[in-house]
Protein backbone atom coordinates (compact mmCIF):
# COMPACT_ATOMS: atom_id res chain seq x y z
CA UNK A 1 0.00 0.00 0.00
CA UNK A 2 1.28 3.44 -0.95
CA UNK A 3 0.33 6.10 1.58
CA UNK A 4 -0.54 9.41 -0.02
CA UNK A 5 -0.91 12.94 1.29
CA UNK A 6 -2.59 15.73 -0.63
CA UNK A 7 -1.35 19.30 -0.25
CA UNK A 8 -4.01 21.78 -1.38
CA UNK A 9 -7.69 20.97 -1.75
CA UNK A 10 -8.97 22.94 -4.73
CA UNK A 11 -10.20 21.37 -7.95
CA UNK A 12 -6.97 19.44 -8.50
CA UNK A 13 -6.78 18.21 -4.91
CA UNK A 14 -10.32 16.89 -5.24
CA UNK A 15 -9.36 15.24 -8.53
CA UNK A 16 -6.43 13.52 -6.83
CA UNK A 17 -8.69 12.35 -4.01
CA UNK A 18 -11.06 10.77 -6.54
CA UNK A 19 -8.12 9.20 -8.39
CA UNK A 20 -6.76 7.56 -5.23
CA UNK A 21 -10.13 5.85 -4.76
CA UNK A 22 -9.67 4.13 -8.16
CA UNK A 23 -6.23 2.70 -7.39
CA UNK A 24 -6.21 -0.33 -5.10
CA UNK A 25 -2.57 0.04 -4.10
CA UNK A 26 -3.06 3.61 -2.80
CA UNK A 27 -4.39 4.99 0.45
CA UNK A 28 -5.16 8.61 1.28
CA UNK A 29 -3.68 9.41 4.69
CA UNK A 30 -4.28 13.15 5.11
CA UNK A 31 -5.12 16.37 3.29
CA UNK A 32 -3.25 19.60 4.08
CA UNK A 33 -4.67 23.07 3.53
CA UNK A 34 -3.93 26.73 4.14
CA UNK A 35 -7.60 27.28 4.87
CA UNK A 36 -9.19 26.37 8.18
CA UNK A 37 -9.19 22.54 8.24
CA UNK A 38 -12.65 22.61 9.82
CA UNK A 39 -14.05 24.30 6.72
CA UNK A 40 -13.21 21.32 4.49
CA UNK A 41 -15.21 18.15 4.13
CA UNK A 42 -13.57 15.31 2.19
CA UNK A 43 -15.31 12.70 0.07
CA UNK A 44 -13.15 9.95 1.60
CA UNK A 45 -14.39 8.69 4.98
CA UNK A 46 -12.10 8.70 8.03
CA UNK A 47 -9.36 10.87 6.57
CA UNK A 48 -8.32 14.01 8.43
CA UNK A 49 -7.75 17.54 7.13
CA UNK A 50 -4.81 19.38 8.67
CA UNK A 51 -3.09 22.72 8.51
CA UNK A 52 -0.07 22.81 6.21
CA UNK A 53 1.97 23.82 9.24
CA UNK A 54 1.39 20.36 10.74
CA UNK A 55 2.74 18.46 7.75
CA UNK A 56 6.05 17.52 9.39
CA UNK A 57 4.20 15.38 11.93
CA UNK A 58 3.23 13.02 9.11
CA UNK A 59 6.79 12.47 7.94
CA UNK A 60 6.76 8.76 8.74
CA UNK A 61 3.18 8.06 7.69
CA UNK A 62 3.12 9.43 4.16
CA UNK A 63 5.09 7.85 1.30
CA UNK A 64 4.33 10.49 -1.33
CA UNK A 65 2.91 13.99 -0.99
CA UNK A 66 0.95 15.11 -4.06
CA UNK A 67 1.16 18.88 -4.44
CA UNK A 68 -2.01 20.45 -5.79
CA UNK A 69 -1.14 24.15 -5.57
CA UNK A 70 -0.84 26.57 -8.46
CA UNK A 71 2.21 27.09 -10.62
CA UNK A 72 2.28 30.88 -10.36
CA UNK A 73 2.98 31.30 -6.65
CA UNK A 74 2.50 28.01 -4.75
CA UNK A 75 4.67 25.36 -6.37
CA UNK A 76 7.89 27.36 -6.94
CA UNK A 77 8.29 27.53 -3.15
CA UNK A 78 6.19 24.54 -1.96
CA UNK A 79 7.81 21.83 -4.07
CA UNK A 80 11.38 22.44 -2.87
CA UNK A 81 10.22 23.07 0.72
CA UNK A 82 8.16 19.93 0.97
CA UNK A 83 10.78 17.82 -0.85
CA UNK A 84 12.94 18.34 2.26
CA UNK A 85 10.59 15.99 4.11
CA UNK A 86 8.64 13.97 1.57
CA UNK A 87 8.77 12.33 -1.82
CA UNK A 88 6.66 14.71 -3.90
CA UNK A 89 4.82 14.91 -7.20
CA UNK A 90 3.67 18.20 -8.70
CA UNK A 91 2.03 19.51 -11.86
CA UNK A 92 4.14 22.65 -12.32
CA UNK A 93 3.03 23.91 -15.73
CA UNK A 94 4.86 27.16 -16.47
CA UNK A 95 6.76 25.75 -19.44
CA UNK A 96 9.26 28.62 -19.54
CA UNK A 97 10.32 28.08 -15.92
CA UNK A 98 10.43 24.28 -15.79
CA UNK A 99 14.21 24.05 -16.00
CA UNK A 100 14.72 26.55 -13.18
CA UNK A 101 12.14 24.70 -11.08
CA UNK A 102 13.90 21.41 -11.85
CA UNK A 103 17.26 22.74 -10.63
CA UNK A 104 15.76 24.15 -7.41
CA UNK A 105 13.92 20.94 -6.59
CA UNK A 106 16.78 18.64 -7.60
CA UNK A 107 19.17 20.31 -5.17
CA UNK A 108 16.84 19.80 -2.22
CA UNK A 109 15.79 16.25 -3.14
CA UNK A 110 19.39 15.11 -3.52
CA UNK A 111 20.10 16.41 -0.01
CA UNK A 112 16.98 14.93 1.57
CA UNK A 113 17.37 11.65 -0.39
CA UNK A 114 13.82 11.96 -1.68
CA UNK A 115 12.35 11.65 -5.17
CA UNK A 116 10.48 14.64 -6.63
CA UNK A 117 8.65 14.21 -9.94
CA UNK A 118 7.71 17.61 -11.35
CA UNK A 119 5.48 18.82 -14.18
CA UNK A 120 3.25 15.77 -14.45
CA UNK A 121 -0.34 15.99 -15.68
CA UNK A 122 -1.29 16.16 -19.35
CA UNK A 123 0.51 19.27 -20.64
CA UNK A 124 3.17 19.24 -19.40
CA UNK A 125 2.94 15.50 -18.83
CA UNK A 126 1.30 13.10 -21.26
CA UNK A 127 1.63 15.60 -24.11
CA UNK A 128 5.34 16.15 -23.37
CA UNK A 129 5.93 12.42 -23.31
CA UNK A 130 4.25 12.09 -26.69
CA UNK A 131 6.20 14.99 -28.16
CA UNK A 132 9.43 13.28 -27.10
CA UNK A 133 8.42 9.77 -28.22
CA UNK A 134 7.15 11.01 -31.57
CA UNK A 135 10.35 12.91 -32.29
CA UNK A 136 12.45 9.91 -31.23
CA UNK A 137 10.71 7.60 -33.72
CA UNK A 138 10.22 10.18 -36.48
CA UNK A 139 13.24 12.51 -36.30
CA UNK A 140 12.67 14.11 -39.70
CA UNK A 141 9.39 15.94 -39.08
CA UNK A 142 7.40 18.58 -37.24
CA UNK A 143 5.10 18.37 -34.28
CA UNK A 144 2.09 20.46 -33.42
CA UNK A 145 0.15 20.80 -30.17
CA UNK A 146 -3.47 21.96 -30.15
CA UNK A 147 -5.51 22.49 -27.01
CA UNK A 148 -9.24 22.14 -26.55
CA UNK A 149 -12.06 22.15 -26.84
CA UNK A 150 -11.76 23.09 -23.22
CA UNK A 151 -12.13 25.61 -20.47
CA UNK A 152 -9.12 27.82 -19.83
CA UNK A 153 -9.16 28.86 -16.19
CA UNK A 154 -6.65 31.65 -16.79
CA UNK A 155 -8.63 33.21 -19.63
CA UNK A 156 -11.91 32.89 -17.74
CA UNK A 157 -10.30 34.68 -14.80
CA UNK A 158 -8.99 37.43 -17.07
CA UNK A 159 -12.53 38.15 -18.29
CA UNK A 160 -13.88 38.14 -14.73
CA UNK A 161 -11.46 40.94 -13.82
CA UNK A 162 -13.15 43.30 -16.32
CA UNK A 163 -15.41 45.90 -14.66
CA UNK A 164 -19.07 44.95 -14.91
CA UNK A 165 -18.48 41.21 -15.46
CA UNK A 166 -20.28 38.97 -12.97
CA UNK A 167 -18.92 35.65 -14.21
CA UNK A 168 -17.38 34.18 -17.35
CA UNK A 169 -16.21 30.99 -18.97
CA UNK A 170 -13.72 30.84 -21.84
CA UNK A 171 -13.34 27.88 -24.20
CA UNK A 172 -10.17 27.34 -26.21
CA UNK A 173 -11.06 25.61 -29.49
CA UNK A 174 -8.60 24.28 -32.07
CA UNK A 175 -9.22 25.47 -35.62
CA UNK A 176 -10.38 22.49 -37.67
CA UNK A 177 -8.78 23.70 -40.87
CA UNK A 178 -5.37 23.92 -39.18
CA UNK A 179 -5.76 20.42 -37.71
CA UNK A 180 -6.57 19.05 -41.15
CA UNK A 181 -3.57 20.76 -42.78
CA UNK A 182 -1.30 19.22 -40.15
CA UNK A 183 -2.82 15.75 -40.59
CA UNK A 184 -2.40 16.08 -44.36
CA UNK A 185 1.38 16.43 -43.88
CA UNK A 186 1.33 19.96 -45.27
CA UNK A 187 3.72 21.13 -42.49
CA UNK A 188 1.91 24.46 -42.25
CA UNK A 189 3.47 27.42 -40.47
CA UNK A 190 0.58 28.48 -38.26
CA UNK A 191 0.07 31.80 -36.50
CA UNK A 192 -1.51 31.93 -33.07
CA UNK A 193 -4.76 33.05 -34.74
CA UNK A 194 -4.72 30.15 -37.17
CA UNK A 195 -4.39 27.50 -34.46
CA UNK A 196 -7.06 28.32 -31.86
CA UNK A 197 -10.17 30.39 -31.42
CA UNK A 198 -11.40 31.74 -28.11
CA UNK A 199 -15.07 31.41 -27.31
CA UNK A 200 -16.34 33.39 -24.30
CA UNK A 201 -19.59 33.13 -22.31
CA UNK A 202 -20.01 36.24 -20.20
CA UNK A 203 -22.51 37.36 -17.55
CA UNK A 204 -22.75 41.13 -17.03
CA UNK A 205 -24.48 43.17 -14.33
CA UNK A 206 -25.74 45.83 -16.77
CA UNK A 207 -26.57 45.04 -20.45
CA UNK A 208 -25.65 48.61 -21.42
CA UNK A 209 -21.99 47.68 -20.75
CA UNK A 210 -21.95 44.82 -23.26
CA UNK A 211 -20.35 46.72 -26.17
CA UNK A 212 -17.56 48.07 -23.93
CA UNK A 213 -16.95 44.68 -22.29
CA UNK A 214 -16.85 42.87 -25.64
CA UNK A 215 -14.31 45.41 -26.90
CA UNK A 216 -12.19 45.08 -23.75
CA UNK A 217 -12.14 41.30 -24.06
CA UNK A 218 -11.25 41.23 -27.74
CA UNK A 219 -8.46 43.78 -27.35
CA UNK A 220 -6.90 42.32 -24.20
CA UNK A 221 -3.18 41.83 -24.93
CA UNK A 222 -1.69 38.30 -24.71
CA UNK A 223 -5.00 36.76 -23.70
CA UNK A 224 -7.27 37.62 -26.64
CA UNK A 225 -5.99 40.17 -29.14
CA UNK A 226 -3.97 37.61 -31.13
CA UNK A 227 -7.01 35.35 -31.54
CA UNK A 228 -10.35 35.29 -33.28
CA UNK A 229 -12.46 35.80 -30.18
CA UNK A 230 -16.22 35.30 -29.92
CA UNK A 231 -18.21 36.81 -27.05
CA UNK A 232 -21.66 35.52 -26.05
CA UNK A 233 -23.58 37.32 -23.30
CA UNK A 234 -25.65 34.90 -21.26
CA UNK A 235 -27.60 34.90 -18.01
CA UNK A 236 -26.04 33.62 -14.80
CA UNK A 237 -28.53 30.76 -14.85
CA UNK A 238 -27.48 29.74 -18.35
CA UNK A 239 -23.80 29.92 -17.44
CA UNK A 240 -24.35 27.71 -14.43
CA UNK A 241 -26.54 25.27 -16.32
CA UNK A 242 -24.50 24.86 -19.51
CA UNK A 243 -20.97 25.92 -18.66
CA UNK A 244 -20.17 24.67 -15.19
CA UNK A 245 -18.05 21.65 -16.22
CA UNK A 246 -14.30 21.64 -16.63
CA UNK A 247 -13.81 19.77 -19.90
CA UNK A 248 -10.52 19.96 -21.77
CA UNK A 249 -8.31 18.03 -24.11
CA UNK A 250 -6.23 18.48 -27.18
CA UNK A 251 -3.99 16.95 -29.79
CA UNK A 252 -0.30 16.30 -30.30
CA UNK A 253 0.40 15.50 -33.94
CA UNK A 254 3.72 14.82 -35.60
CA UNK A 255 4.19 14.27 -39.29
CA UNK A 256 7.47 13.22 -40.80
CA UNK A 257 9.21 11.53 -43.65
CA UNK A 258 11.31 8.40 -44.06
CA UNK A 259 13.19 6.73 -46.89
CA UNK A 260 16.44 7.61 -48.61
CA UNK A 261 14.54 10.03 -50.84
CA UNK A 262 12.12 11.07 -48.07
CA UNK A 263 9.40 9.52 -50.19
CA UNK A 264 7.16 8.21 -47.40
CA UNK A 265 4.95 10.24 -45.07
CA UNK A 266 3.85 9.26 -41.60
CA UNK A 267 1.35 10.76 -39.16
CA UNK A 268 1.36 10.09 -35.42
CA UNK A 269 -1.48 11.54 -33.38
CA UNK A 270 -2.25 11.50 -29.66
CA UNK A 271 -5.43 13.08 -28.39
CA UNK A 272 -7.34 13.56 -25.17
CA UNK A 273 -11.01 14.35 -24.74
CA UNK A 274 -11.67 14.95 -21.06
CA UNK A 275 -14.93 15.63 -19.26
CA UNK A 276 -13.01 16.78 -16.20
CA UNK A 277 -9.58 18.33 -16.55
CA UNK A 278 -8.78 18.22 -12.79
CA UNK A 279 -9.90 14.62 -12.36
CA UNK A 280 -7.85 13.38 -15.31
CA UNK A 281 -4.86 15.42 -14.16
CA UNK A 282 -5.35 13.90 -10.71
CA UNK A 283 -5.19 10.43 -12.22
CA UNK A 284 -1.89 11.23 -13.93
CA UNK A 285 -0.42 12.62 -10.70
CA UNK A 286 -1.40 9.46 -8.85
CA UNK A 287 0.26 7.21 -11.49
CA UNK A 288 3.47 9.25 -11.12
CA UNK A 289 3.15 9.06 -7.31
CA UNK A 290 3.38 5.27 -7.74
CA UNK A 291 6.60 5.66 -9.74
CA UNK A 292 7.88 8.17 -7.17
CA UNK A 293 7.35 5.65 -4.38
CA UNK A 294 9.05 2.84 -6.31
CA UNK A 295 12.08 4.90 -7.31
CA UNK A 296 12.64 6.00 -3.72
CA UNK A 297 12.26 2.39 -2.50
CA UNK A 298 15.13 1.59 -4.88
CA UNK A 299 17.16 4.26 -3.04
CA UNK A 300 17.05 6.76 -5.89
CA UNK A 301 16.83 10.44 -5.11
CA UNK A 302 16.69 13.81 -6.87
CA UNK A 303 14.29 15.50 -9.25
CA UNK A 304 12.68 13.64 -12.15
CA UNK A 305 10.22 14.42 -14.94
CA UNK A 306 7.98 12.25 -17.10
CA UNK A 307 11.00 11.81 -19.39
CA UNK A 308 12.84 9.77 -16.73
CA UNK A 309 10.14 7.34 -15.76
CA UNK A 310 10.02 3.83 -17.26
CA UNK A 311 6.41 3.01 -18.16
CA UNK A 312 6.29 -0.14 -16.00
CA UNK A 313 6.77 1.96 -12.87
CA UNK A 314 3.46 3.73 -13.47
CA UNK A 315 1.15 0.75 -13.26
CA UNK A 316 -0.02 -1.63 -10.55
CA UNK A 317 0.57 -4.87 -12.47
CA UNK A 318 3.28 -7.52 -12.50
CA UNK A 319 5.81 -7.41 -15.31
CA UNK A 320 4.82 -10.94 -16.34
CA UNK A 321 1.18 -9.89 -16.70
CA UNK A 322 2.20 -6.83 -18.69
CA UNK A 323 4.24 -8.93 -21.13
CA UNK A 324 1.46 -11.49 -21.46
CA UNK A 325 -1.52 -9.16 -21.77
CA UNK A 326 -0.46 -5.60 -22.63
CA UNK A 327 2.68 -5.88 -24.77
- In the complex, the residues that contact its own copies under the rule CB under 8 A are 15, 18-19, 21-23, 43, 95, 98-99, 102, 119, 124, 126, 128-133, 135-140, 258-260, 263-276, 279-280, 282-284, 287, 290, 305-312, 314-316, 319-320, 322-324, 326-327
Minimum distance from residue 110 beta carbon to its own copies (Å): 15
Minimum distance from residue 5 beta carbon to its own copies (Å): 19
Cis before 193 (ω within 30): no
3-state helix, strand, coil in the chain (%, to 5): 40, 30, 30
The 3 state secondary structure assigned to 43-85 is: CCCCCEEEEHHHHHHHCCCCCEEEECCCCCCCHHHHHHHHCCC
Strands (E) across 176-245 are located at: 196-204, 228-233
Q: Which is nearer to its own copies, 227 or 293 (CB)?
A: 293
Q: Which is nearer to its own copies, 85 or 267 (CB)?
A: 267
Minimum distance from residue 225 beta carbon to its own copies (Å): 26
Q: Which is nearer to its own copies, 43 or 235 (CB)?
A: 43
Q: Which is nearer to its own copies, 28 or 200 (CB)?
A: 28
**Rounded Cα gap, residues 292 and 303, in angstroms:** 10
- The answer for 249, left when phi > 0, alpha when psi is -120 to 50, beta otherwise, is left
**Rounded Cα gap, residues 121 and 282, in angstroms:** 7
The angle that helices 11-20 and 277-297 make with each other, rounded to 10 degrees, is 60
Q: Which is nearer to its own copies, 178 or 202 (CB)?
A: 178
Minimum distance from residue 161 beta carbon to its own copies (Å): 29
Minimum distance from residue 284 beta carbon to its own copies (Å): 5
Q: Which is nearer to its own copies, 209 or 308 (CB)?
A: 308
Task: Say whether 118 sits in a helix, a strand or coil.
Answer: coil
Minimum distance from residue 308 beta carbon to its own copies (Å): 5
Q: Which is nearer to its own copies, 108 or 272 (CB)?
A: 272
Task: Say whether 172 sits in a helix, a strand or coil.
Answer: strand
- For the beta sheet containing 165-174, the strands, ordered from the edge strand earlier in sequence to the opposite edge, are 150-151, 165-174, 196-204, 228-233
From residue 220, alpha-carbon distances to 158, 171, 192, 228, 255 in Å are 9, 16, 15, 12, 34
Minimum distance from residue 242 beta carbon to its own copies (Å): 16
**Rounded Cα gap, residues 103 and 79, in angstroms:** 12
- Sign for the CA dihedral angle at 183, 189, 194, 198 comes to positive
Q: Which is nearer to its own copies, 153 or 230 (CB)?
A: 153
Minimum distance from residue 91 beta carbon to its own copies (Å): 12
Burial class (CB in 10 A: 0-12, 13-18, 19+), 142: middle
Minimum distance from residue 288 beta carbon to its own copies (Å): 9
Q: Which is nearer to its own copies, 63 or 279 (CB)?
A: 279
**Rounded Cα gap, residues 284 and 314, in angstroms:** 9
Amino acid sequence: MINIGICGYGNLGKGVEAAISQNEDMKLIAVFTRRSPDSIKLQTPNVGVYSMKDMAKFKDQIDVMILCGGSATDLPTQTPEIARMFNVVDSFDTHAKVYEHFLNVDKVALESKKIAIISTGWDPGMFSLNRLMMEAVLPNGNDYTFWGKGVSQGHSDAIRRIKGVVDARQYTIPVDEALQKVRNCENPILTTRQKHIRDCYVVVSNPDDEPRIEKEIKEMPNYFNDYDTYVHFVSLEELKKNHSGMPHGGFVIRTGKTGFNLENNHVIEYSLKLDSNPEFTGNVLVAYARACYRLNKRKECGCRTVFDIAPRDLINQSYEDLLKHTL
